[in-house]
Amino acid sequence: MFVDRFLNAITTYRLTLYYLIGLLFLAGFFSALGLLPYSAIDIAIDVCIAAIVSWVANWGFAKLFHAATNSESVFITALIIVCLMPIVPFANALFLAGACIVAMGSKYILTIQKQHIFNPAAVGIFAISLLAPNYSALWWMGTPIMMPFVVIGGFLLIRRIRRENMVYLFFTVYIVAFSIAFIIQGTFFTSLSTLAEILFFRSPIWFFGMIMLAEPITAPGRKRPQLAYASLIGVLVATQQMRFLPFSFTPEEALCIGNIAAYMMTPRHRLVLALQQKIQLTADTIQFIFRPANPLVFKPGQYMEWTLPHSKTDARGNRRYFSIASAPKPDTLAIAVKFYEQSSSYKTCLKNLEIGEEIIAAQLGGDFTIPRNVEKKKLVFIAGGIGITPYISMIEYIIQENKKCDTVLLYSMKNVNDSVFIDTLEKARVYGVNTIYTITDTTAVPADWEWNTGMINAAMIQKEIPDFTERTFYVSGPQLMVQALEKTLASMDISKKKIITDYFPGFAG
């Protein structure tokens, strides 16, 4: 829980940037001690070249295409390229700069509906290898002394974006395919120790899998396509060990092929939305209703990444993930946002957004969605605080489609003043969505309060939902609450298959 609390306090972009800076700092330190065959000064020079060229190239492309930009993303790509390319400053400066320019350009040129298709670092290195076949990625981070740091930091990163299953499946498929290749070639048992050393101590796949494969923008946003994507790339990368095949793929080539497959599985969206209306739901919660230029097809309960370019961006960046808080409609798209006293520059800018001003929404994703044939299912929705928003999308859909359901919503809030969307929840009762409220701040309970008080626990669930064993549970809210309720439901003998949890990728203020 401490790890999740730490991860929830930092954005994915900032975590990735710090991770890469940390790896390169350690590489420089180990090089100075003679533990890596490089020079700390050479690593620093390559970092400077990549960072400067990437920033200038990105600035130029952004101006040319009149596009919003994210400086953290620029430097992340630059540092990834440094981690892959040979450390030979000046002699290879042209190739390093070329990879960075191609990587930045791919974000603006190799796009469909203004959404880039390829992992920028992968396509940059791939392009350079085509132009200069004798110059290719070295993947020098896959060395024994760097491996523990790559894996520990990588684990934190994939935990932050909840891509563990995808990455672990990639590793599994790669190892199985790798092993089968050596069995077919008759060298598996005779070279077992060598194989283990190559695989676990001298392999690029750990950095590749945890940093590049898991990159959210070019990977699928839903679980099943993610697993297919990971399996495909695992097999493609393993072809390097399949000497009996007439072809093989480097990791960057495999990733580019996987990116194409990912787009075919789950086409991506990038919308420029104009603010149509702001509604003050509570003292610290506002609903923003936007007008899309084109209708967005999505499943109720999904989220998007919302980019709001603004000056003086603080350490938490200019992007956030918010659940869509409206039913699929052709003319509107809504989110609801809770603001805190010490809000980030992003939320301060969002709060002050004027009617007609624009925000960018992309990366539609999430599997926390309303089930098919919802009217035939017995469900329990559990919401904590602003975690009510994906349910509002589902409930508005139920009302819009005139469906009759058997759903109980347990809605937990700190106090009565924190309640939102009450009109929608009450309207939904005639459609079979019965809301039960609870206040967690027991020192501020109104005299006429007729509902529950305290945290949602096993006793409350058993009291309010006698047939709870027959139902499927959805849980949305702060991650610590979600994790606690997962344990509670497991203790009540609810199968894991009947517990569906939401993940908010960004509780970053």
Contact residues for 186 (Cβ-Cβ < 8 A; gap 6+): none
Distance CA 74, CA 57 (A): 9
**Whether residue 378 sits in one domain with residue 352:** no
Q: Are residues 336 and 393 in the same domain?
A: no
AA letter at 504 = F
pLDDT (tens place) for every residue of the chain, 509 residues total:
667 777 777 888 889 999 999 999 999 999 999 999 999 999 999 999 999 999 999 999 999 988 877 788 999 999 999 999 988 877 788 899 999 999 999 999 998 877 889 999 999 999 998 888 777 788 888 888 999 999 999 999 998 888 899 999 999 999 888 888 878 877 666 666 766 776 677 778 899 999 999 888 889 888 899 999 999 999 999 898 787 788 889 999 999 999 999 999 887 778 889 999 999 999 999 999 999 888 888 999 999 999 998 888 777 778 889 999 999 987 899 999 999 888 888 899 999 999 999 999 988 888 899 998 999 999 999 999 999 999 999 999 999 999 999 999 999 999 998 999 999 999 999 999 999 999 999 888 888 899 999 999 999 999 999 999 999 999 999 888 999 999 999 999 999 999 999 875 544 44
Predicted confidence at residue 506, as pLDDT, reads 47
- Whole-angstrom Cα distance, residue 486 to residue 492? 10
**Domain closes at, from 309, 339, 365:** 365
Q: Answer whether 154's CB lies under 8 Å from 206's CB.
A: yes
Q: Could you count the other beta carbons within 10 Å of the beta carbon of residue 294? A: 10
Among residues 82, 60, 61, 59, the alpha carbon closest in space to that of 71 is found at: 59
Q: What is the pLDDT of residue 508?
A: 42
Q: Phi first, then psi: what are they for 497, rounded to 5°?
A: -65, -20
Tell me, yes or no, whether 43 and 79 share the same domain: yes
Query: What pLDDT was estimated at residue 162?
Result: 86
**Domain termination residue (choose one: 237, 265, 293):** 265
The residue out of 265, 290, 311 marking a domain boundary is 265
Total length of the chain: 509
pLDDT of residue 216: 85
Of 211, 207, 259, 215, whose CA–CA distance to 233 is shortest?
259
Q: 250 and 276: one domain? A: no
Same domain, 166 and 281: no
Residue 28 belongs to some domain of the structure: yes
Would you state the pLDDT for residue 330? Answer: 79
Q: Are residues 351 and 426 in the same domain?
A: no
Q: Based on the fold, state whether residues 91 and 160 are members of the same structural domain.
A: yes
**CATH number, domain with residue 398:** 3.40.50.80
Is 169 part of any domain? yes
pTM equals 0.85
In a domain, residue 509? The reply is no
The alpha carbon dihedral of 244, 245, 247, 252 has a sign of negative
* Same domain membership, residue 421 and residue 332: no
In total, how many domains does the chain have? 3
Within this chain, do residues 355 and 385 fall inside the same structural domain, yes or no? no
Let me know whether 212 and 305 are in one domain.
no
Q: What is the distance between the alpha carbons of residues 337 and 286, in angstroms, rounded to a whole number?
A: 6
In CATH, what number is assigned to the domain containing residue 295?
2.40.30.10
User: Is residue 2 situated within a structural domain?
Assistant: no
Does any domain span residue 508?
no
Residue 253 lies in a domain: yes
506 falls within a domain: no
The answer to whether residues 203 and 323 belong to one domain is: no
For residue 449, give its domain range. Answer: 374-501
Closest CA to 433 of 462, 458, 389, 397: 397
Query: Within a domain: residue 85?
Result: yes
* Half-sphere exposure for 88 (CA within 13 Å, toward CB): 10
Terminus-to-terminus CA distance in the chain, angstroms?
19
Beta strands in 265-313 (DSSP E): 270-282, 285-292, 303-307
Same domain, 156 and 230: yes
